Chains A and B, each alone.
Chain A
Amino acid sequence: MSNRLRASLIGGVTIGALSAITVIPQVPFLRLICCVWAIVGGALAAYLFVKSSPKPASTGDGAVVGTLAGVIGSLIAFGALMIVSFYLIDRTLVEEQVRRAGLNPEKFSFSLIIMLTGVLAILIQIGLALVGGIIGVSIFEQRNDGGDGSASPPPPPPPFYDGGTGEVVVTPTPPPPSGYGPGES
Chain B
Amino acid sequence: MRDEIKNRSVFYSSLIPHPSSLRLRTPRRSIIVWLITATVTLLFVSLIVVAPLAAASGHDSLALIIYTAFSKFCHQIRERSFEVVGHPFAVCARCTGIYLGFAAGVLIYPLVRSLKRTDAPARWWLLVALVPTAIDFALGFFGILENTHLSRLLTGALLGGVTAFYVVPGLMDLSRMSFKRSSMKDEIELLAIRAKQ
Contact = CB atoms under 8 A, between A and B. Distances in A.
A135 B160 CA distance: 12
Contacts of B7: 175-176, 181
A147 B195 contact: no
Interface in A125-148: 125, 127-128, 130-131, 133-135, 137-139, 145-148
A59 B117 CA distance: 11
B176 A60 contact: yes
Interface in B5-29: 7-8, 10-12, 14
A121 interface: yes
B173 A131 contact: no
B73 A35 contact: yes
B73 A59 contact: no
B166 A183 contact: no
Give the size range of B's interface with the partner: 35 or more
A127 B169 CA distance: 15
B54 to A, nearest CB: 10
Nearest to B95: A34
B95 A134 contact: no
Interface residues of A, number: 55
Interface in B54-91: 55, 60-61, 63-76, 86-87, 91
A147 B65 contact: no
Given A120-B69, A135-B163, A179-B195, 20 more contacts: A35-B74, A35-B95, A38-B73, A60-B172, A60-B173, A60-B177, A61-B177, A63-B174, A98-B64, A116-B65, A117-B65, A130-B167, A131-B163, A131-B167, A134-B171, A137-B170, A138-B166, A147-B118, A181-B7, A182-B14
